[in-house]
Structure 1
Amino acid sequence: MSTLLLATRNAKKLKELRRILEGRVTVLGLDDVPAFEELPETGATFEANAADKAEQAARETGLPSLADDSGLTVDALNGMPGVLSARWSGRHGDDAANVDLLLGQLRDVPDERRGADFVSALALAVPGADTVLVRGEWRGRIIREVLGANGFGYDPVFVPTESDEAGDARTSAQLDPSEKDRLSHRGRAIEKMLPHLLRLG
């Protein structure tokens, strides 16, 4: 089985990818390899940030490296928070503060204008080869209160279109992990990337 480095210290992202790729690819995280000074995220797009992270990890470790840059784009906020999703409140990775700020910004926005997309850009960098980029998107809407304990980030306020169409209006944080893996932006991006990952071995 081939080995892949996921260029992240986000334990929840690592767990999600390991679950999706179980039995097909061995996935390591940055805590499993010798430390190096990680570049800041300065790209204007999800794809640019993902490529920068994957290419640096491949250079530093010599391992095939996969990086994800993902976030939420909200129609009423002209696509923001976008690449700033993880630090929208000013503190990187503070999920509760980010969600609180988002809900505050949308307080007066009517339900019909609360559309949003989760976006995941994946970059695969293999030493000596061109970087492969794919993108997955998941359409939905932002509700007015936090619901559900699964997932992370903006999951508790995001109701995917599939959930609305099924008539149950569950948030991403209320979905079963296997259901989320199948529907989500990251799951869709991984499916696009999978042929490239399976060729690593």
Structure 2
Amino acid sequence: MQLVFATNNINKLKEVQRMVPDNIELLSLVDIGCFEDVPETQSTIHGNAIQKAEYIKTTYGYDCFADDTGLEVDALNGEPGVLSARYAGIQRNSEDNIQKLLNKLKDRNNRHAQFKTVIALVLNGEQHTFTGICKGEITKRKRGNDGFGYDPVFKAEGYDKTFAEISLEEKNEIGHRGRAVKQLIHFLNTQT
């Protein structure tokens, strides 16, 4: 089976490639000649995932899946949410996003948050979605050098380390994207 993963985020691609079994050939946007920014103009994480997958299927003709991920912080009424990548501006700078988040939480005791990933799959003319959630909290300062995005300030429930302090394998096991990808793979295995 051949599937396109509709992302320009190299880090996401690496995470998912590690989890996909050998019977699924994963293609990147570059592999299919897509060098444009895939639209994500919806008001929800779920909507953006669907929009991206449908765009690739309609424009390029490939069966594909796309994800959208957001960090939802309780004390900020779910911010940054669907705007997680652009929280501090359209430049999509992780350092700026983290600094804005930490500044907004500076005087807050409630640091509960969750990462949410929605994967939208378009396969054989049908659409399916899978959701992964990882609950945790925002640390008071950045910790760790691995991962990407908000990983240096997110600590999953039951863990003392941030996502930037654990291995990619461990993050895939407990994290939001890993949980959604496991559902996707389980579904794909029922199709072959």
The two structures have a TM-score, normalised by structure 2, of 0.94
- Secondary structure of 2:158 counterpart: helix
Query: Which residue of structure 1 aligns with residue 183 of structure 2?
Result: 192
Distance 1:121 1:133, change over 3 A: same
Q: Does 1:93 align with 2:95?
A: no
* Aligned partners of 1:58 and 1:127 also within 8 Å: no
Aligned-pair identity in percent equals: 40
Alignment length, in residue pairs? Answer: 192
Indicate the residue corresponding to 1:166 in structure 2.
none
Q: Does 1:161 align with 2:157?
A: yes
Residue matched to 2:120: 123
- Distance in 2 between the 1:135 and 1:152 partners? 20
Aligned-partner residue type, residue 148 of structure 1: G
Q: Please point out which of 129, 138, 144 is paired with 2:140.
A: 144
1:78-103 Cα deviation digits (max 9, x unpaired): 00100000000003431111001100
CA pair 57-200 structure 1, distance change in 2 beyond 3 A? farther
- 1:16 corresponding residue in structure 2: 15
Deviation at 1:55, TM superposition (A): 0.8
Helix, strand or coil for the counterpart of 2:82? helix
Change (3 A) 1:200 1:11: farther
**2:161 is the counterpart of 1:170:** yes
Output the CA distance in 2 between the equivalents of 1:99 and 1:72. Answer: 11
Pick closer, same or farther for the CA change 1:184–1:144 going to 2, 3 Å.
same
Partner of 2:55: 56
**What's the CA shift string for 1:115-156, capped at 9, x where partnerless?**
00000000001252x210111100000011110111100000
**Maintained 8 Å contact 2:39/2:51:** no
What TM-score do you get using the length of structure 1 for normalisation? 0.90
Q: Distance in 1 between matches of 2:76 and 2:68?
A: 19
Unaligned runs of 5+ in 2: none
